[in-house]
A = this chain, B = another copy of it.
């Protein structure tokens, strides 16, 4: 076999991951099958398994590849005041969000596979910033969860809507399809809500809610609520 004539690249772990990412970028995760991937690379299916244990490991590597694309806030910078730390947290969150938006298939993966080195690095940066922001450690702990959850969850909801729903690639068409099936008499608020989306005057609620969370966290610093069960006190009365 004159395989030397073939101009295919060497089959390495990195080449496989890169091809898988680009294959998922257009076509979504469902377009990524091992056979498909092998064909794209010019090899046969089982050759992939010499460099990747199984598809799950490949998916984990892909997720970490996305995590590696998150920008860090000025590498060695030490925030001097708490507000600076919070601002850096914000920028990291926005950057992570951007990474997930660029690769719509990544958000589902993010919560399904074990974090790789790049994502652990990202966690470390965020956790350190929370510590440097001067928050009490328990607030920092679930503040981290709140921010990460918002970044992943918000993007997930947004993207899965667009990509996984039936045939339409357009979000507006989708919303209209949804509206046409809803009883406008019985569900006026729902109809109004979706129409607000269609009107487009609800831009990036992502950053608004992010600020809401961050703002709430800094506020909890001073007036820390103690009993987690009866947290209605956090709503302001009593």
* Chain A contacts to B: CB under 8 angstroms: 83, 86-87, 90, 108, 111-112, 114-115, 120-121, 123-124, 127-128, 131, 137-138, 141-142, 144-146, 148-150, 152-154, 156-157, 160-161, 164-166, 178, 182, 186-190, 192-193, 196, 201-205, 207-209, 211-220, 225, 227-229, 231-232, 234-237
Give, as a whole number of angstroms, the nearest-CB distance from A178 to chain B: 7
Q: In the complex, which residues of chain B have a beta carbon less than 8 angstroms from the beta carbon of A160?
A: 111-112
Q: In the complex, which residues of chain B have a beta carbon less than 8 angstroms from the beta carbon of A236?
A: 83, 87, 90, 215, 218
Give, as a whole number of angstroms, the nearest-CB distance from A110 to chain B: 9
Q: In the complex, which residues of chain B have a beta carbon less than 8 angstroms from the beta carbon of A145?
A: 154, 157, 205, 209
Q: Does A212 contact B146, Cβ atoms closer than 8 Å?
A: yes
* CB contact under 8 A between A231 and B86, given known A146-B209, A146-B212, A149-B154: yes
Q: Does A128 contact B212, Cβ atoms closer than 8 Å?
A: no
Q: Does B218 contact A231, Cβ atoms closer than 8 Å?
A: yes
Q: Does B213 contact A232, Cβ atoms closer than 8 Å?
A: no
* CB contact under 8 A between A128 and B228, given known A152-B157, A160-B112: no
Q: Does B141 contact A202, Cβ atoms closer than 8 Å?
A: yes
Give, as a whole number of angstroms, the nearest-CB distance from A116 to chain B: 10
Given contacts A87-B236, A115-B178, A208-B231, 6 further A-B contacts (CB under 8 A): A111-B157, A142-B208, A153-B157, A211-B232, A212-B216, A213-B213
Q: Does B161 contact A111, Cβ atoms closer than 8 Å?
A: yes
Closest B residue, CB atoms, query A154: B149
Contact among B152, B182, B212 with A220 in the assembled complex (CB-CB below 8 Å): B212
* CB contact under 8 A between A212 and B190, given known A149-B150, A228-B204: no
Q: Does B218 contact A215, Cβ atoms closer than 8 Å?
A: no
Closest B residue, CB atoms, query A226: B236
Contact among B121, B188, B190, B216 with A216 in the assembled complex (CB-CB below 8 Å): B216
